[in-house]
Structure 1
Amino acid sequence: MIFYTTMDSPVGRLYLAGTERGVCRIAFEEEPLKVWLARHLGVEPEDEPGPLTEVVVQLREYFSRLRRRFDVPMDLRGTPFQRAVWREVASIPYGTTATYGEIARRLGKEGRAARAVGAAVGANPLPILIPCHRVIGADGLLVGYGGGLSRKVQLLRLEGVRV
């Protein structure tokens, strides 16, 4: 069974989906979420929050500046490289940023690996929980964010990052 719920936030409505194992997707638009679920899980979600209730609680705490890290079960689906990148992104401290190249180096990759890291970051199924908004370009510029650069700016400002 795929659980599904929505919540309003300072960055717009969030659409959440999860399995019995944990949250598997957060999206900023409903239709792409349903397409993702059909492609990756082959099912339609049930309009039932189930285990997503705690995710909503922790997201509300984050948006109220009461939470800096998330402690919810996640059902991550991706390649081993993507999961390694997502773990590294999840370790970027609240209120700080890291570049794609820095993440590649932390993973022991050099050279063109920053592009592969960028692709993995772009495939992050759990924005905010896995804080890909904290990843920036080598020159310090804000680049790419699935929810749009304006949301990236909002999230970074919420965390006290000057942008």
Structure 2
Amino acid sequence: MPGDIRYLIFDTAGGPCGIAWTATGIVRFQLPGEDAATTRRLLLRRLPEAEPRTETEAGAGAPPPDVARAVDAVRRYFAGESVDFTGVALDLAGQSDFFLKVYEAARRVPWGRTTTYGTIARDLGAGPEMAREVGQAMAKNPVALIIPCHRVLAAGGKVGGFSAPGGSSSKLKMLALEGISFAPPAPAQQSFGF
């Protein structure tokens, strides 16, 4: 399998991202790290055999057109443009059938919208007790953003966790790019000072 996976680290308005692919599709996507070296380290942590590519390489070494289109879409996303990643081909080999169904459901959540772990579980016919497993699928999502796990919230519309660099703060920033904000709750009672 060495040599079958290639990767690219590229700049966006949100910071350096990483993308890895096989002949089948995108196998891993790394949300922005603090710098290119951090992004590369995080991407390669699970793909140590991947071979680097650059956007300027010509011929067989260059990213294929579908990967170049995905990179362009990611750049447009972090520039604040509404982007739909449902057409991006993925290579999710090795994922369980349940995770694949969860990922397919999450991919249907459009820009500027959210859902919950429980809603996805219910929509899959799994029942609300499977919300935790949906959350586990989101936490292990190998292609965050392309499968928009940041749009999947905890019960009651709470942000929930996020396994990407920056944790929940990064999730909030991505949701804010899409026009979704989480205002602090208003105080239940104001003090008049007497």
Shift of 1:110: 0.9
Hey, what does 2:63 align to over in structure 1?
50
Which whole-Å deviations, capped at 9, do the CAs of 1:112-157 have from their partners, x for residues lacking one? 2001111011111111111000011102211111211121111100
Hey, what does 1:161 align to over in structure 2?
180
Report whether the alignment pairs 1:32 with 2:42: yes
Report whether the alignment pairs 1:72 with 2:88: yes
Distance 1:8 1:150, change over 3 A: farther
Report whether the alignment pairs 1:6 with 2:9: yes
Which whole-Å deviations, capped at 9, do the CAs of 1:14-71 have from their partners, x for residues lacking one? 1111011111101133223212114xxxx33233451221211111222234343122
Identity of aligned residues (%): 35
After TM superposition, the score normalised by the length of structure 1 is: 0.89
Aligned 8 A contact 1:104 1:113 in 2: yes
Hey, what does 1:146 align to over in structure 2?
163
Unaligned runs of 5+ in 2: 32-38, 55-61, 183-194
The amino acid across from 2:74 in the alignment is L
Distance 1:117 1:108, change over 3 A: same
The amino acid across from 1:35 in the alignment is R
CA distance in 2 between counterparts of 1:3 and 1:67 reads 27
Distance 1:161 1:126, change over 3 A: same
RMSD: 1.6
Hey, what does 1:96 align to over in structure 2?
113
The amino acid across from 2:127 in the alignment is E
Aligned 8 A contact 1:2 1:19 in 2: yes
Greater Rg by CA: 2
CA distance in 2 between counterparts of 1:67 and 1:111 reads 31
The number of residues matched between the two structures is 159
- Alignment equivalent of 1:18, drawn from 13, 17, 21: 21
Aligned 8 A contact 2:21 2:28 in 1: yes
Q: Helix, strand or coil: the match of 1:87?
A: helix
